[in-house]
Structure 1
Amino acid sequence: VSAGEPPEASFDDFPRPDGLGARAIQRERRCMSYGPGAIDIHPAKKQAGATALACWPLVVGHEAVGALYVYRCDSRRFSDTELLILDNFVQFAAIAIHDGRKTGGLSRALGRKVRQLETLNRASNLISSRTNLEETLQEILFIGLDLTAAQYGSFETFDRRRNLLVTRALAGSKEPPGSEPPLPVDELSVVGWAALHRQSVRIDDIRRPPWRNIYHRLPVERDMRSELVVPIFGTGGALEGILNIESPQPNAFSERDRQLLESLGVHAGHAIQEIRLLDALQDIAEHLLNTDGDALLKLIVDRACDLINVSDGSIWLVSAPDTLVLRQSTDPTRHGETLSLQNSFTGQAVRLRRPIAIDDVRLNPNFMRPELAQERGWVSAIVVPLLASKDDALPVGSFALYAPELRDFSDWDKKLLTVLANHAAVAIRDAEQLRLLQQARERQATAETIAAVGDVAANLLHQLNNKFGAISVRVQGIEAKCPEALEAWPYLQKSLGQISASVRQAQSIVHDSMAPLQPLKPQPVQVADCLRNALNRANLPETVVAEQRGLVDLPPVRAAGKQLEMVFYNLIDNAQQAMGGTGTLTISGVVDGDCVAVSVADTGVGIPPERQAAIFELASAATNRRTGRLSFGLWWVKTFVDRFGGRIEVDSKPGQGSTFTVWLPIERNA
């Protein structure tokens, strides 16, 4: 049968032995005239103007009954929606042809199938109209009962994490769904058997072996005799649940009933996936404004693994021109790992700005962690870029999922993961913008506070210097006018000398304590010079080994030299104290994008996790017990770094030392 042929078309187009139709039937799946490994269109069709071809095998129970060819004569390729519609249509068409041949009444069979298609179409519309998962599952169950003229049944969803079937909908029972214990996916129950073997089961009499030994009663008053169980799969082949229909009459269900429920299962699988995706997006949206970034990304990773039925997932962020950093994953021990953006499979999705899939990561040379794949049992993988919007010049990172079996990720899988990746990208972008906004507000508030305090401090310092000066003048006056008394009274001479020394010491203490309040004068500053002055001032003992890496070639940064020296001095002095005066101090510097990153690492006792969030707070700045002076404090360190337009972070584990990293903006006008 053909339709839509142009007038000039030739009918000398018998199927080729090695053509698309033969390939589609051999593989039992759709084949296209474009894409990797595609076969060209039949010359007769191409001469008639065909530009694109999709061919579906018409197969029932591995028995081929024909092939459906659909051609396009324009420049556009088939859309995903068109292909999905035809994917569903050919299943019904194959069944119709098969039944028509079997009964010898093709017209009656086609008419019957048309009516069934209409029924299923109405059912699909009813299912799609539901707005939450519970309503959708209950509607699927009711439609299944209607198609088979039954009254009793249940719908079990598949809990992937626990490998259990959980009852979510019931019919003919006074008990609410969930009152029955979940059933494992094994051969100890009928629904478990169907889920395990991924095939439907029609039981004419459940009192006969082997079914009587594994039948689990529905919570209904009547005894059941017949059962029809159909597993429901999503677009990617993942098990979504089990549709279970039962009857108190033996031999209540026919083979046609099974076929109808299997067709219903196709629509049900798509609907369940769509509802679960909508539920996931709603859940993510609810957490978007009141959940911290890492917790939100963890939620997105978990939802993606659940929706696409994979074991592991990870979100990588672009950190440097050629570096990806692991921000979130199902394995928290790996957070902070890095990959090459240019040479890795994960970075390929970022560079190409499109989804990338690998059939077997163990054999792909671009997968840089084959030992990890072996350890975690990964086989197939899919990665999509993190794009907050289509106009982004470069994705902020990538979203990767790993499956423990050979997996052909479907278009639905790619679209679903892309949607979740976009939400993750928006969350990352919003978190970064919020951080920058809060940082700008903090800088402004700090600058205003320090300016006000600086005015008070400057006035106080002026008054104190006047008083100190008056004392010094009086002492000098006494020494000039009373030399005889001083010579005759050594105690007086000694006391005046001590007074003068105390005045000078007090002036020095006041000056050093007020130094953090001096006005900032940002200018190009050499990091290596400030670090050298800070090390000289720290006067490290011989028991502390100081190592310097990559500091000489660093570009100038925009900062205030005196205050930046105080930042480094405080970090070095704190490191020395943390090591108890013995250990290795490592100071390193690198260019990180538009910033210079300077790290000060020690081999000391480390900082407990519960204290790390508070070390930069004002309450942590206390009086230095060794000198009796106001401590510079990590609050001041953070304050100066913020005012320079940079940031500071700490990475520390008890017993393994601490690393403080300061990012400073590069001076572009130097």
Structure 2
Amino acid sequence: MEETLEAILQMAMEVTGARYGIFRLLDEQRTHLLTRAVVGEDLGAPHTEALPLDNNSIMGRAAMTRKTLCIADVLVQPWSKIYYPLDHTVKMRSELVTPLIGAGDRLEGVLNLESPRVNAFSDEDAMLLQSLAIQAVIAIQEVRLLDALQELSARLLANHPEEMYRRVVQLARELSGASLSGLWLFENRRLKLHTTSPDGSVIGSDFSDAFGYSLTSRRPTVVALSNSEFSQALVAPLLAGEDAPIGVLGIMAEPGQRLSTSDWDKKVLVLLARHAALAALNARRQALLRRFTPRERQVFDLMVAGLSNKAIAQTLVISPNTVKRHLRAIFDKLEVNSRAAAVAKVYSSMTH
């Protein structure tokens, strides 16, 4: 991400004649602006520590008000009181800063330019910076989503399903900016809350009926919640191929809070829900494999690799009759009657 942000900064500086440029993004707690990229001429010791998200700095004010600020001279009132120099060794006089607003009107951070000249930036420069800010937001969101999906892919086979569920709901809340996220799984044909983020959050209502349309349509759906401590939810079904959904992943908003339900948020939820579904199906696969004895597991793995009974016997240094006995035991435990059916039953969970 840093390389992309630096390229955007370099472009902005070349077009506007700025001396310095900096990207600051909100931290996970959404209380501070953290430096993610800095570009400038003759940078000495730039101040890149976290800035509180408040009105006590120019960048903080732009973020709080969600307005582009074009400041002709940072040394005059009221800006001199809140000007935060990027580098004390160089005197800056003009500043141009625009907020980074993502999908669903979510604040992502700020893009800031500075110049040693008074009145260095024009209205045209401000419009250009806002355009570049849009590009930056798209890059930031795509990189965050890609990082999240790569992390989940790496965790899929290495982590216990419960760990996957917890991470999926955490990422759903982090990427969407929602106040709460949850994962519901079917038990006895009813949806039951399984995992929440923040961990341990209480969601008292039964949402089986409210989430019904998302389950039948197999699409992400915005749901108005009645008789609940939450006002609205965006949910996506956990799909296992063409089979019926096995659960729901959702983000929720409390009364008075705004829930982002943009196409971007729907895309994020669908992709995360797929990984949660894969984790659930992998858990089923592992449960099937745990029925086997260690020797049966060896025979099964060699059968999956395409070896004949004779080849399996030679590989494991056992008799062909012993291989047949193990295969019969495997078929009985899986309730199938052929090699192909056994492989399909165990591995269909990883292809759906």
Same topology, TM > 0.5: yes
**Residue of 151, 155, 164 corresponding to 2:23:** 155
Q: Taking structure 1 as the reference length, what is the TM-score of the superposition?
A: 0.42
How far is 1:351 from its partner? 2.8
Aligned to 2:341: none
Secondary structure at the aligned position of 1:209 is classed as: coil
Aligned to 2:136: 268
State the AA in 2 paired with 1:171. V
Secondary structure at the aligned position of 2:2 is classed as: helix
State the AA in 2 paired with 1:324. L
How far is 1:431 from its partner? 2.0
Superposed CA deviations along residues 610-657 of structure 1, whole A, max 9, x for unmatched, are: xxxxxxxxxxxxxxxxxxxxxxxxxxxxxxxxx999xxxxxxxxxxxx
Aligned to 2:259: 407
Distance in 2, matches of 1:255 and 1:351, equals: 51
Aligned to 2:237: 385
How far is 1:275 from its partner? 1.0
Aligned to 1:352: 217
Question: Greater relative contact order: 1 or 2 (C-alpha under 8 angstroms, separation 6 or more)?
Answer: 2
Q: Tell whether 2:296 aligns with 1:428.
A: no
Conservation of the 8 A alpha-carbon contact between 1:314 and 1:328: yes
- Specify whether residues 443 and 394 from structure 1 end up closer, same or farther in structure 2 by C-alpha distance, changes over 3 A only: farther
Q: Taking structure 2 as the reference length, what is the TM-score of the superposition?
A: 0.77
- Specify whether residues 403 and 290 from structure 1 end up closer, same or farther in structure 2 by C-alpha distance, changes over 3 A only: same
Conservation of the 8 A alpha-carbon contact between 2:239 and 2:246: yes
Aligned to 2:193: 326
Conservation of the 8 A alpha-carbon contact between 2:103 and 2:260: no
1:94-113 counterparts in 2 under 5 A? none
Conservation of the 8 A alpha-carbon contact between 1:327 and 1:336: no
**Residue of 91, 104, 115 corresponding to 1:236:** 104
Conservation of the 8 A alpha-carbon contact between 1:155 and 1:170: yes
How far is 1:218 from its partner? 0.3
Secondary structure at the aligned position of 2:206 is classed as: strand
Superposed CA deviations along residues 39-81 of structure 1, whole A, max 9, x for unmatched, are: xxxxxxxxxxxxxxxxxxxxxxxxxxxxxxxxxxxxxxxxxxx
1:126-205 counterparts in 2 under 5 A? 133-172=1-40, 173-175=43-45, 180-205=48-73
Superposed CA deviations along residues 475-494 of structure 1, whole A, max 9, x for unmatched, are: xxxxxxxxxxxxxxxxxxxx
Distance in 1, matches of 2:296 and 2:206, equals: 37
Conservation of the 8 A alpha-carbon contact between 2:44 and 2:89: no
Distance in 2, matches of 1:218 and 1:260, equals: 22
Aligned to 2:178: 310
Aligned to 1:226: 94
- Specify whether residues 332 and 352 from structure 1 end up closer, same or farther in structure 2 by C-alpha distance, changes over 3 A only: same
Secondary structure at the aligned position of 2:104 is classed as: coil
Distance in 2, matches of 1:203 and 1:213, equals: 13
How far is 1:403 from its partner? 2.9
- Specify whether residues 349 and 441 from structure 1 end up closer, same or farther in structure 2 by C-alpha distance, changes over 3 A only: farther
Q: Tell whether 2:168 aligns with 1:300.
A: yes
Aligned to 1:417: 269
Unaligned runs of 5+ in 1: 1-132, 374-378, 446-642, 646-670
Conservation of the 8 A alpha-carbon contact between 1:325 and 1:337: no
Distance in 2, matches of 1:336 and 1:396, equals: 20
- Specify whether residues 422 and 163 from structure 1 end up closer, same or farther in structure 2 by C-alpha distance, changes over 3 A only: same
How far is 1:347 from its partner? 3.8
Distance in 1, matches of 2:200 and 2:277, equals: 23
Distance in 2, matches of 1:411 and 1:430, equals: 29
Distance in 1, matches of 2:207 and 2:80, equals: 58
Conservation of the 8 A alpha-carbon contact between 2:17 and 2:115: no
Aligned to 1:286: 154
State the AA in 1 paired with 2:172. A
How many pairs does the alignment contain?
Answer: 296
Which entry has the higher C-alpha Rg, 1 or 2?
1
How far is 1:214 from its partner? 0.8
How far is 1:326 from its partner? 1.5
Aligned to 2:116: 248
Among all aligned residue pairs of Structure 1 and Structure 2, give the percentage whose two residues are the same amino acid. 38
Distance in 2, matches of 1:388 and 1:206, equals: 57
Aligned to 2:318: none
How far is 1:205 from its partner? 0.2
- Specify whether residues 437 and 306 from structure 1 end up closer, same or farther in structure 2 by C-alpha distance, changes over 3 A only: same
Distance in 1, matches of 2:293 and 2:204, equals: 32
Unaligned runs of 5+ in 2: 298-332, 336-352
Aligned to 2:206: 339
Secondary structure at the aligned position of 1:439 is classed as: coil
- Specify whether residues 295 and 175 from structure 1 end up closer, same or farther in structure 2 by C-alpha distance, changes over 3 A only: farther
- Specify whether residues 222 and 174 from structure 1 end up closer, same or farther in structure 2 by C-alpha distance, changes over 3 A only: closer
How far is 1:348 from its partner? 3.4
Conservation of the 8 A alpha-carbon contact between 1:324 and 1:338: no
How far is 1:272 from its partner? 1.2
Secondary structure at the aligned position of 1:440 is classed as: coil
**Residue of 71, 81, 85 corresponding to 1:217:** 85
Task: Let me know the Cα RMSD of the aligned residues.
Answer: 2.5
Conservation of the 8 A alpha-carbon contact between 1:202 and 1:227: yes
How far is 1:180 from its partner? 2.8
Secondary structure at the aligned position of 2:186 is classed as: strand
